[in-house]
């Protein structure tokens, strides 16, 4: 599934890059290939182009290239993965408003925590609970519980930082559409 997800991220990155190129060139996305150079001069276009490159690089490291040294392998996996998280942060609202550097770093941490928590829940539901004996399952669930608690804490802290950064005051959170959407996310989380 991971291989397909990386290919999908690369393909969708191309589609989004063509969308930016079509905005610049004034034509339809499927005819905007000639405007891709101009699209990569924008923050969003550059982030989408990097997403394509990093998705494919990570796919190659994971599925086509064997790296024998363990530390080199994990570095080759971690750097493009963190870069991918950065492309979502850099192309989105985390660069807007005040403190853009804080916004990007906070958004990367927020996405990493969310991915860790959600992927961990999937592993628990589909692998650990049905596939392990109780004497192995219980310690695995306890380890994941610590990771999940840290992930949720990071989500809450980074969400609060983004709220203060974007609204200026947490009390003004519900004044705009962004705050109402965040409230829906918090209700779903609870």
Give the model's pLDDT for residue 148. Answer: 92
Return the number of other C-beta atoms located less than 10 Å from residue 179's C-beta: 15
pLDDT, average across residues 76-104: 81
Does the pLDDT at position 76 exceed 80? yes
Does the pLDDT at position 29 exceed 80? no
User: How far is it, in rounded angstroms, from Cα 170 to Cα 84?
Assistant: 29
User: How would DSSP label each residue in 24-62?
Assistant: HHTS-GGG-GGGHHHHTTSHHHHHHHHHHHHHHHHHHHH
Confidence tier at 52 by pLDDT (50, 70, 90): very high
Does the pLDDT at position 172 exceed 80? no
Does the pLDDT at position 189 exceed 90? no
pLDDT, average across residues 63-79: 85
pLDDT, average across residues 11-34: 79
User: Using an 8 Å Cβ cutoff, are 166 and 178 in contact?
Assistant: yes
Alpha helices in the chain (DSSP H): 2-25, 36-39, 43-63, 70-91, 100-123, 129-131, 134-167, 177-189
Burial environment of residue 168 by CB neighbours within 10 A (0 to 12, 13 to 18, 19 or more) = exposed
Does the pLDDT at position 170 exceed 90? no
Mean per-residue pLDDT over the chain, rounded: 83
Percent of the chain at pLDDT exceeding 90: 13
Residue for token digits 């690089």?
Answer: 57
Predicted model pTM: 0.68
Give the model's pLDDT for residue 28. Answer: 74
| Nearest one of 9, 152, 25 to 80, comparing CA atoms | 9
pLDDT, average across residues 12-16: 88
| Nearest one of 96, 190, 114, 98 to 159, comparing CA atoms | 114
- Is the pLDDT higher at 76 or at 168? 76
| Nearest one of 10, 9, 39 to 22, comparing CA atoms | 39
Q: Which two tokens stand for residue 140?
A: 């695995």
Confidence tier at 133 by pLDDT (50, 70, 90): confident
Residue for token digits 């408003």?
Answer: 97
């Amino acid at each position: 599934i991971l291989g397909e997800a990386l290919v999908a991220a690369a393909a969708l990155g191309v589609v989004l890059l063509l969308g930016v190129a079509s905005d610049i060139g004034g034509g339809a996305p499927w005819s905007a290939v000639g405007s891709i150079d101009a699209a990569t001069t924008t923050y969003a276009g550059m982030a989408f182009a990097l997403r394509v490159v990093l998705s494919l690089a990570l796919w190659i490291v994971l599925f086509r290239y064997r790296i024998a040294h363990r530390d080199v392998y994990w570095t080759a996996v971690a750097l493009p993965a963190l870069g991918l998280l950065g492309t979502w942060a850099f192309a989105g609202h985390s660069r807007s408003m005040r403190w853009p550097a804080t916004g990007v770093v906070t958004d990367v941490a927020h996405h990493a925590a969310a991915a860790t928590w959600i992927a961990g829940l999937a592993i628990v539901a589909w692998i650990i609970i049905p596939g392990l004996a109780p004497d192995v399952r219980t310690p695995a669930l306890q380890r994941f519980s610590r990771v999940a608690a840290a992930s949720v804490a990071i989500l809450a802290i980074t969400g609060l930082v983004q709220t203060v950064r974007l609204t200026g005051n947490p009390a003004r959170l519900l004044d705009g559409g962004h705050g109402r959407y965040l409230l829906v996310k918090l209700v779903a989380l609870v």
